[in-house]
Structure 1
Amino acid sequence: MASSPNSTAPARERAALSFYNLAWRWHFYAGLFVIPFMILLSVTGIIYLFKPQLDTWMYADLLQVPVAEQRLSADQQLAIVREAYPQAAVSKYLPPAAQDRSAQFVINQDGRELNLFVDPYSGNLLGTQDALWNLQAAARKLHGDLLIGTVGDRLIELAAGWGIVLVVSGLYLWWPRGSSGAGVLWPRLSARGRLWWRDMHAVTGFWGSALLLFMLLTGMTWTGFWGAQFAGAWNHFPAAMWDDVPKSGQLTGGLNSSSQQTVAWAVEVTPLPASDPHAAHLGHAGHSAPASSTSLLQHVVDTAAERGVQPGYSISLPKGEQGVYTVALFADDPRNDATLHIDQYSGAVLANVRWQDYGLVAKTVETGVMLHEGKLFGLANQLLMAAVCLLIIFSSVSGLVIWWKRRPAGRFGVPPLRHDLPRWKTAIGVMIALGIIFPLVGASLLLVWALDVLLGLWRRQFVASTRSA
């Protein structure tokens, strides 16, 4: 016998209510998981935002030098460093970014990575800094992988993905339905207690949602799983750029680490060329090899100047017999980005990747990353992103306060279900779409759903057995 509409309506209502309960629990549990990460990312982000000002204030004796008439060549500076640290391996050279700035070498001494600062005029060694445990490096590494490597990176990615889910679901839950005004578009300042916290959480979240999503999405591009897949799918360069270039089998992104960024995001998936040990003897058409191996680092500096690379770049020194010199400028204005790979024997430029070589997605992401890091528009950009970080902290704290004030008495449970939630089919569609876009979020969603179902079955069996007893 066919069911009548009246008999099926309660079933649909029960299904909707069941989903409401499930989504409500997930929203709050996900929020509790995300909050510590969001606060950590915001605090470390603020530290990194103001890196130029903090570095100048904290390390003026290492960074600033009096200007003189004659500057030592890069190779003379390298010789001084190697004489002072004969057992150290030199991995990177950063030429002075301005006339009154020091040069910097990155060395590995007895298992420690050090930043070594050199006066480029006098050759005096100004001092060292632990490359991994200075304020900025530690903040960046916490921001990237929680100081625990791949596991930390995946946790950060999961938290950022769930942060996006929470922003989208928060917009969905608080979107005006039937009324718009106090408590939705502006807070009821006369309110007190839980209602005040609710209004502030909802209103600031509503107006700041676009910036919150921007910060989370641009940050996701640097994650080790989703970001790597996204880069692999969208960062494509003409294969002809490397047709006649020997390749090492490695990617340029290997020069980056969670504590230090060397090359731009757009070139991370490009091949890392290999030096040809015979190139110095055979020569390269159109390239003039340096007079001797002792002048090669200065030759790389001169090549960068000839190719129009702006100051502020770094030079990664070759690793092994097939290693190359890599000139990398991850510029505040991404239109000035530059990545050059130079043969360590002949001094020939093997690859030269610039802004005009980037695809549309790469250009968009690089511009977004510079906005994210507060570098594109100077102090105004820094202050805007710092305000977003403070907004994230406030949203996290206010969400925690709301949960605490509404939790079931004496328990760490979920607040009572709201009765004015929007249609459940739209909500579940949004969740499924976000789970597909962000696979780690989707996998965790399925896991939580399975655990929730099992826990519900266990509760029902426990209640049934208790009643029968």
Structure 2
Amino acid sequence: MSKPNVSFYNLAWRWHFYAGLFVAPFMILLAITGIIYLFKPQLDPLLYRELMVVEAGHHRQSADTLLASVRQAYPQGHVGQYLPPLNAERSAQFVVHDGGRELNVFVDPYSAKVLGEQDGKQNLQAIARALHGELMVGTVGDRLVELAAGWGIVLVVSGLYLWWPRGRNSAGVLWPRLSARGRVLWRDLHAVTGFWGSALLLLMLLSGMTWTGLWGKQYADLWNRFPAAMWNDVPKSDQQARDLNSAHRQTVPWAMENTPMPVSGAHAEHAGHHRMDQAPAAPQVSLQQVEDVASLRRVEPGYSITLPTSAEGVFTIAVFADDPRNDATLHVDQYTGQVLADVRWQDYSPVARATELGVMLHEGKMFGALNQLVILLVCLMILLGSVSGLVMWWKRKPTGGLGVPPLRHDLPRWKMAVGVMVVLGIAFPLVGISMVVMWGVDSLVVRRRAMVRA
């Protein structure tokens, strides 16, 4: 084997080590929370059966009757969202902001009886989603998750280079040597799992990155574009649809996040120059009329209706469908019931379509149980890869040290490798910045050790 390859192997191992040590705890957390959120459709009706499941009746009450029941039960509360029943055996749900809390309130659609409430931010799925997206610490958590996902991509690329057979037989490369013991077995589990899961892991990392606050927002700004003509005849606010999404709750599809929120215009004509956004909402269109619009326009069941919060606000009907081809986002004037915007799959750009498909595959929703099982397998492979990597490190770690792989002094600058790292650093700016910092720290540590030896 030529010297440059040997040397670069050493460098790749060193960077793989650094990336792994940083990324592993995040990957373990993301895999566990991902598994919980993956099985949300099965877990929710099981855990909250008395709230979510009802006996099918003959006649459903109107949305306005259900809304009146909720307002009677929460006289000081503000109703922010309504989710019609998914099917004949499911309850209706309202999101109520009451006394500083966000509550999911469930109502029997046949009797209009309030079945109970659930804390919107402190239930299992909301916690799993918030941990998965931003570690439940807001912007700092979002950036850390983005950094970990970016370094995860570096980990996959460097790991594939380290795994490359270079003349070895298939044992320990394509399948683990189960007869081996100790560190060799852990190494095989780590390398083989990483190889077989690499393509799916890259898909998971890249599709997940589209939701991040820095890289994801830049990506959306670049690719999430709709023809200007779609919004030409509609008065627009300075609010974007992304404001309807939060860490614990998804309302509008990813492709719609950068679109402007329209303005309910009929009332604005009589209001002169008053700040309409500061006046309270006073809809003249009933909630049932908005639900009828959704039915008439054949919006996929599972949609939500977000109520206006100001005098110029709109009703927003949105479904982030399991099959993105059924995505729909409609904005309805709160005074006239006019549909101001109706955006569907066919309006998305090719990149937005590909991204939405990637997100749905990521969440295990595209092909039902099969998709869930594949993503579960990927999450288990991530757990095995992360744990085996940490075990390998722990077994070889010297007392009182990190056990960083030694750097050879005759290491040439290998052009292709440096190029790959530069491309990854530019593609993912947070990774690029941290690479420069790590290179500086690493250089100082190496120089200090050389001085100590001298």
- TM-score scaled to structure 2, two decimals? 0.92
Matches within 5 A, 1:426-465: 426-462=416-452, 464=454
Among 195, 198, 203, which residue is 2:192 paired with? 203
1:337 matches 2:327: yes
Q: Residue 115 of structure 2: which of 126, 132, 151 is its match?
A: 126
Distance apart, 1:463 and its partner CA: 5.0
**Alignment correspondent of 2:177:** 188
Q: How far off is 1:22 after superposition?
A: 5.0
Distance change >3 Å, CA 367–CA 16, structure 1 → 2: closer
Tell me the CA shift for residue 16 of structure 1: 8.3
- For each residue in 1:389-425, what CA deviation from the matched residue of structure 2 results, as whole angstroms up to 9, or x when unmatched? 0000000011111112233455322245699x99933
Q: Which residue of 2 aligns with 1:164?
A: 153
Asked if structure 2 preserves the Cα contact closer than 8 Å seen for 1:165 and 1:434, the reply is: yes
Query: Corresponding residue for 1:115?
Result: 104
Give the alignment partner of residue 326 of structure 1, picking from 316, 324, 332: 316
The match for 1:299 is 289
- Paired residue secondary structure (2:302): coil
Q: Which residue of 2 aligns with 1:258?
A: 247
Number of residues of Structure 1 aligned to a counterpart in Structure 2: 442
Secondary structure (helix, strand or coil) at the match of 1:105 reads strand
Q: Report the equivalent of 2:279.
A: none
What is the one-letter code of the residue matched to 1:61? E
In structure 2, what is the equivalent of residue 5 of structure 1? none
Compared CA separation, residues 187 and 21, structure 1 to 2 (3 A): closer
> Which whole-Å CA distance do the structure 1 matches of 2:134 and 2:400 have between them?
35
CA deviations over 1:38-95 (Å, ceiling 9, x no partner): 0000000000000011111111111111222221111111111112211101100001
What amino acid does structure 1 have at the position aligned with 2:228?
A
What is the one-letter code of the residue matched to 2:301?
P
In the alignment, the residues of structure 2 paired with residue 374 and residue 280 of structure 1 have an alpha-carbon distance, to the nearest angstrom, of 46
Which of the numbers 377, 385, 389 marks the counterpart of 1:387?
A: 377
Structure 1 SS opposite 2:286: helix
Please tell me whether residue 407 in structure 1 is matched to residue 403 in structure 2.
Answer: no
User: Residue in 2 aligned with 1:9?
Assistant: none
Aligned equivalent of 2:40, options 51, 56, 60: 51
User: Over alpha carbons, which structure has the higher Rg?
Assistant: 1
What residue in structure 2 maps to residue 71 of structure 1?
A: 60
CA distance in structure 1 between the partners assigned to 2:343 and 2:117 by the alignment? 32
Q: Is the 8 A contact 2:285 2:335 kept in 1?
A: no
The TM-score normalised by the length of structure 1 is 0.89
Residue 219 (structure 2) aligned to one of 223, 230, 238:
230
CA contact (8 A) 1:249 1:271 kept: yes
Verify the 8 A CA contact 2:52 2:90 in the aligned structure 1.
Answer: yes
Mapped to 1, the partners of 2:81 and 2:58 lie a distance apart of 26
Q: Is the 8 A contact 1:408 1:416 kept in 2?
A: no
1:192, 1:417 → 2: CA distance? 28
Q: Is the 8 A contact 1:407 1:416 kept in 2?
A: no
- One-letter amino acid of the counterpart of residue 316, structure 2: T
2:35 and 2:188 mapped to 1: Cα distance? 26
Corresponding residue of 2:341 = 351
In structure 1, runs of 5+ residues without a counterpart are 1-11, 283-291, 465-469
Q: Given that residues 280 and 346 in structure 1 are in contact (C-alpha distance below 8 angstroms), is that contact kept between their aligned partners in structure 2? A: no
> How far off is 1:25 after superposition?
3.0
Following superposition, the deviation at residue 337 of structure 1 comes to 0.3
Going from structure 1 to structure 2, the CA distance change for 1:349 and 1:312 (only over 3 Å counts) comes to: same
Q: Distance in 2 between matches of 1:361 and 1:137?
A: 29
Closer/same/farther in 2, CA of residues 277 and 87 from structure 1, 3 Å limit? farther
| Shift of residue 17, structure 1, vs aligned partner | 8.0
